[in-house]
Structure 1
Amino acid sequence: FDRVVWAEDLGIADFQGWLFKHDVVEVCTAVKGPFIHQACQGGFSGGADAVIYLDPDTALFGSLEPLETWLEESDILLTPHLVDPNVTAEAIADNDLSASRTGIFNLGFVAIRTTGEGARFAKWWNDRLLDWCYDDMPSGLFVDQRWCDHVPALFNHVKVVRDPGYNVASWNLSTRTLEVQKDGQVTVNGAPLRFWHFTKLGPMGDAMTKKYGATNFPVYEVWSWYKRQVTAATDKAIPERWWAYGAYSDGTPIEKAHRVLYRQRADLQAAFPDPFAAGEGGYARWLEREGL
């Protein structure tokens, strides 16, 4: 990496309390907002004209130069989960309905200009993710993604990238066919493969890849290659409970219900500005006394 930016350096108010309100997936998606917003203001980018974000479980297979061309005419680029209609009832249930629940666009990728509508979007998304980036589907939330369903209606100069070579993933393999050309290039529905988003690399991703890539051998080639790369790069010394913010200061794991309760009650946030602190007078001890 050229630079690593720590979450505590993003200038988030009441950082310990804010962090405690989120589980690991929620916080990893929530920090996109302040990071991209600050990058647009020159905080990390050194005056860059554009910001291109890719999730860490993404692998590049081709040039992203077309993004630069598109950003000359558009301020915001988004990729939908699906760019072709599914046909079978099974694929509709697995993929269309899933996208309806989790968001039309997959925010493992977003590209914006740092001025104009791109900057306005970055400020808006930052504000939404700081306060409402939770996995709470009954409330209409799915971390960072559902918010961006509104983007084409709220902002101008938005381009929906429908090229099938971008953001290939298990949820769209039902409509995307991979081929390896004679020159070794991998194509998707005839277009060059640009990047693959390897979400849910474990059993769920394996099952969906097997289900929708069953007759498309190159899918297995790419999927197996990435799994080998991850295995080779994994530090065996990393403990199972690796997330530092997954436990109180005494090592006791934090229950999701206790995070939700904390974020729902302003009185608890005021009483326990550092809810991770264990011991007498801490949030964990209060939960014990309350029988929670």
Structure 2
Amino acid sequence: MVAELTEHLVVTTSPSAGPSLAACTIVAHNYLPMARVLARSFLKWHPEASFSVIVIDHPLEARGLVDEPFTVVPITELDFGDEGFENMATIYDVTEFATSVKPFALQHLLRSAECAFYIDPDIEVYERLDPLVDATMQAGITLTPHCLSPIAHDGAEPGEAAIMAAGVYNLGFIGVARRAGEFLQWWAARLRRWALIDPAQQLFTDQRWIDLAVPIFHPHIVRSTAYNVAYWNLDQRLLTKQQGRYLVDGEPLRFFHFSGYDPATPFWVSKYQQSAPRVLMSEQPALVELCSEYAASLAASRRPTDSHLPYGWHEAFPGVVLCRELRRFFHAELVRADRGEGEVPPSPFLPGGAERFRHWLCTVAPDSVAPATRSAMAIWHGRADLRAATPDVADGRADGLRHWVERGGMVEYPHLALLGWTQPRPASDSSPAGGDGVDLVGYLTAELGVGQAGRLAEQALTAAGVDVATTVTSRTLSRQRSAYDPSGAAGHRTIVAAVNADQLGLLRRDLGAGFFEGRYTIGQWFWETESFPVRFHHAFSWVDEVWAATTHMCDAFTAGAPTGLPVTHMPLPLLAPPV
């Protein structure tokens, strides 16, 4: 029987004739040094095999990697079927995406090899893995469990509950043969949508799915303690070093998983168990030596040419970070589309997708519970604290959400400032210009100079007896904590837009072009350079007059303004202090 396969063979460094073997790992660019250590260690013991590194981001840069101890496979070279990988890159963060790619990577290897291993990048191989090859060829799948003995209920980390939450089997290693094709298709179908880190839904990347796979596909379960040694099982395994060779319970160490080990904090076995570690580095002399050698190997594997690129799928496009809430909202819409309950949302990573994604975020969903864009509702749906603080949203109103956005939401989520949070009003929705007075629009809650200029203008107009109605716009990354309450009903004949020229187009989009139609619009602008940039001259077409607070700015605006457009020197008001 497969379960009775011996795993205590005497192994030499000479490869024996057997099935063709290929191994791989999956990394973003920042993990390339780890991948080099792993690849060299694997190929040292398996020179007859191949080793590939699937690079999940920056595919153009990945193609430029040269002189590596492995075969580089950019993410674009894997076969994800007709849908591609772009939706996965949108719904998943870097950890989720890397783990979701495993079945597709293994299918790629099995096109040319009879046996394929996936190995996490933070692993180093110390002996040949022939017993795993034999077991995989017979059973089709080989897995290593997190632990092989009961875990003490002593308050140390990780406990059994943590192991169950992460999955019984550690997917830092999995072996498959060609007969595992049905399993890989099953696994790939689930990881295309559900490789989430979401313990509340009983999900943890690719690992929890394997708990279901065991009774369905009958893999071989490795019961030797020499494989996948890591912080979660070190208290159950005796690591020693004899005559230059590491042993585990007397058997040669096959591979060690340095999960969470950071050479910058060498006194911690793993960053994942700092509060109540189950194993202390100070009590494990062989472990200290092993980790020190690994740290030295990592340092030697770093290259001056290594890029320091941020994760390639971190932003949908410059300025819009795909935060967890946006990714989960996109995921929910994608799942609904799979069920035939809506349209497939546009991934920003498809050709031409960035603009379609921006438009999708900036519009209100047809079935939205409140009149707020998807970019704002994604945050509301994703945060229980925000839903509790703004119960009016569930009743179809957005006042509470508006208050949160203007008072701090845009600081936490800058995309709300860039994209706006309410759908622009069409011209037909705007009221016609009304009586005398001024509608003042600006960053009236923002802690920045343009915001203060708008607040001063409102106070001066009010002091002069002018009827003023104010509208707050929050398209700025500055903190929105200035004490200010909007007042009055918009609809006067004159608008003072206390917003700089470079942002005026966004303001018009937010309020709708009809808001300005038939009204006299004054732009209160600030630009302290000697010449006003030509790239902003189009903003002159949106105003009837420009106010400049200094003669220096007045001269710059006048030089660029079209003939006949008044540019008025309008100094900032001075408020008399209370006596």
Displacement of 1:5 in angstroms is: 1.9
Q: Render the CA deviation track for 1:5-61: whole Å, top value 9, x for unaligned.
A: 222222321532331011000000001121213433x1xxx2x22111111111011
2-structure distance, mates of 1:55, 1:273: 28
1-structure distance, mates of 2:331, 2:224: 40
Change (3 A) 1:242 1:281: closer
Give the aligned partner of residue 567 of structure 2.
none
2-structure distance, mates of 1:274, 1:106: 32
* 2:165 is aligned with 1:101: yes
- TM-score normalised to structure 1 length: 0.86
SS at match of 1:186: strand
Larger proportion of strand: 2
Change (3 A) 1:65 1:14: closer
Larger radius of gyration: 2
Q: 1:22 aligned to 77, 92, 111, which one?
A: 92
Displacement of 1:86 in angstroms is: 2.4
1:131-142 to structure 2, matched below 5 A, reads: 131-142=193-204
* 2:192 is aligned with 1:130: yes
Name the stretch that deviates more: 243-252 or 189-198: 243-252
Q: Render the CA deviation track for 1:262-281: whole Å, top value 9, x for unaligned.
A: 11114787352426726994
Displacement of 1:191 in angstroms is: 1.6
* Contact 1:79/1:167 (<8 A) preserved: yes
1-structure distance, mates of 2:185, 2:356: 38
2:92 counterpart letter in structure 1:
H
1:73-152 to structure 2, matched below 5 A, reads: 73-91=138-156, 94-115=158-179, 118-152=180-214
Give the aligned partner of residue 346 of structure 2.
272
2:78 counterpart letter in structure 1:
L
Give the aligned partner of residue 290 of structure 1.
421
1:178 counterpart letter in structure 2:
L
Q: Render the CA deviation track for 1:155-183: whole Å, top value 9, x for unaligned.
A: 13x211011110011111121111111x2
Q: Render the CA deviation track for 1:88-133: whole Å, top value 9, x for unaligned.
A: 5124x52322111100000010011112xx2221121111111211
Q: Percent identity?
A: 26
Change (3 A) 1:224 1:284: farther
Change (3 A) 1:16 1:269: farther
* 2:237 is aligned with 1:169: no
* 2:116 is aligned with 1:51: yes
Q: Which runs of 4+ in 1 moved over 6 A?
A: none
Measured on the aligned residues, the alpha-carbon RMSD in Å equals 2.7
* Gap regions ≥5 residues in structure 2: 1-68, 364-374, 376-418, 424-579
2-structure distance, mates of 1:184, 1:221: 11
* Contact 1:272/1:282 (<8 A) preserved: no
1:79 counterpart letter in structure 2:
T
2-structure distance, mates of 1:219, 1:269: 53
Displacement of 1:70 in angstroms is: 2.0
* Contact 1:86/1:174 (<8 A) preserved: no
SS at match of 2:146: coil
* Structure with more relative contact order (C-alpha pairs < 8 Å, separation 6 or more): 1
Give the aligned partner of residue 284 of structure 2.
216
Change (3 A) 1:201 1:291: farther
SS at match of 2:170: coil
1-structure distance, mates of 2:175, 2:357: 47
Q: 1:37 aligned to 107, 123, 128, which one?
A: 107
